[in-house]
Amino acid sequence: MTLELSQLTEHVKTMGETVAQRHRTRADLISLARRWLTDYADRAEALRVRARAEGVAVPAESALDAVHALPEMPERYTVVGADGSQIQPDRHGAALYYVINIGSLVYRHGSGQAPEARSEAMLGFREDDLYENGTPVAGNLLDVRRDLAELRRLADACESEQPGPVIALADGPITLWVLKDLPGGARKAKVTAHLDQLDRIQRAGGIVGGFVSRPGSKEVTRLLHLVHTLSDDAKKSELPNPLELLADRAVFATLPAGARSALFISPKEINEQYYAPRGHEAHFFYVNLAKGESDPVVARVEVPAWVAREEQGVDIIHAVVVAQARIAGDYPYVLARADELAYVSGRERAALESMVLSSLMSAGVHSSLSPKAHYKRLTRQGF
């Protein structure tokens, strides 16, 4: 063992005391945020223009503190979940390549059919796969390709299902996170491809949503601070935002079991610049997935504007997300299974590497791991 735990004993003790103090301070901030949510609940209409300008959550309902009880479930519906994983290109490997593996599950509630599980793998090894404008496709660039593949799988499933409520669940936001340092044309091309898949889901009659577990967004708490600074109660000494480090989910932990919050519009620049003009402007709500009196489990659900405009669409995705989460322990069952199907184990990675080496040898290419990779493999075997 090379980690000397004894060297960290005092640090860990101090950390415990620091975290305890942080929790006490956080409790006071949560109380303040909830008070502001109640006090300024009727300011939603007056806030919309200012909220957009300030880059905070934009109210989409008439009351900031609206609470919507868990709707009734449809008797029959289909829910599809997709998730992905990847093997990053490794310059120390025998060859340069990447893998994207997409797992998905189709769950036809009320049909009596077993869920339909599948996984789809893609190997990227050509020059066009590995480079974009001379930049290696790795890290966030590869994440974007995986996100697009996940959404494409959801669109495929929506198009192939029989008419009826079809809910497509993505793991994460429905807006595509794109590197800001990408050239404008490349950025637009990636977002356009993502929007095209949302178009397909809409045309197929699907209802798409993005599920975010333990969300860290602070868009609503920043909205609350904004409305407070505009109120008669604000004092100059209070202008710095005391809620800056407080996540929205803490404010909505008082939601009754199964209930959701009011709808808000995401203030992200990409949302207004690309998604809104195509009719897919991302809205979101918070929902308490807990059952009964158990501790609250607050998640964030994002939906495009065309779902948000239809109360029935929001109700269906609200009800289905809660039902799915209660199957798998506060996380949607279809996404949990999709993650299982997408996961690539260490044994599978090693088997793929052996296949690659055999293929190279058959083609007359003699390649091997770099000395660094070879040494690490030797020293880490068995751990």
Least confident of 9-18, 74-83, 187-196: 9-18
Rounded to 10 deg, the angle between the 44-54 and 219-229 helix axes is 110
pLDDT level of residue 187 (50, 70, 90 thresholds): confident
**Structure tokens, 23:** 């929790």
pLDDT the model gives residue 379: 61
247/243 Cα distance (integer angstroms): 8
CA quadruple 60, 65, 69, 70: dihedral positive or negative?
positive
Say which residue, 65 or 310, is predicted with more confidence: 65
3-state SS, residue 187 = helix
For 332-375, what is each residue's pLDDT tens digit?
Answer: 999 999 999 999 999 999 899 889 888 888 888 877 666 666 66
For 128-170, what is each residue's pLDDT tens digit?
Answer: 999 988 889 999 899 999 999 999 999 999 999 988 899 999 9
Most confident of 195-199, 266-270, 358-362: 195-199
189/127 Cα distance (integer angstroms): 19
Could you give the dihedral angle defined by the CA atoms of residues 369, 138, 335 and 353, in that order, rounded to the nearest 10 degrees?
-20
pLDDT the model gives residue 58: 97
Read off the pLDDT of each residue in 222-245 and give the average, rounded to a whole number: 82
pLDDT the model gives residue 311: 80
List 210's β-bridge partners, or say none: 170, 302
pLDDT level of residue 198 (50, 70, 90 thresholds): very high
pLDDT the model gives residue 374: 61
Q: Which residues 6+ apart lie within 8 Å of 64 measured at CB?
A: 37, 40, 41, 42, 43, 44, 223, 224, 227, 262
pTM, 2 dp: 0.91
Angle at 63 between CA 59 and CA 69, to 5 degrees: 105
pLDDT the model gives residue 321: 97
Q: H or E stretch including 99?
A: strand 98-109
User: Which amino acid would we find at residue 358?
Assistant: S
Per-residue pLDDT at 196 exceeds 90: yes
pLDDT level of residue 178 (50, 70, 90 thresholds): confident
Beta carbons of 215 and 258 less than 8 angstroms apart: no
pLDDT the model gives residue 376: 64
pLDDT level of residue 60 (50, 70, 90 thresholds): very high
Read off the pLDDT of each residue in 31-37 and give the average, rounded to a whole number: 96
DSSP readout, 165-177?
-EEEEEES-SSPP
Distance linking the first and last C-alpha atoms of the chain: 11
Say which residue, 3 or 238, is predicted with more confidence: 3
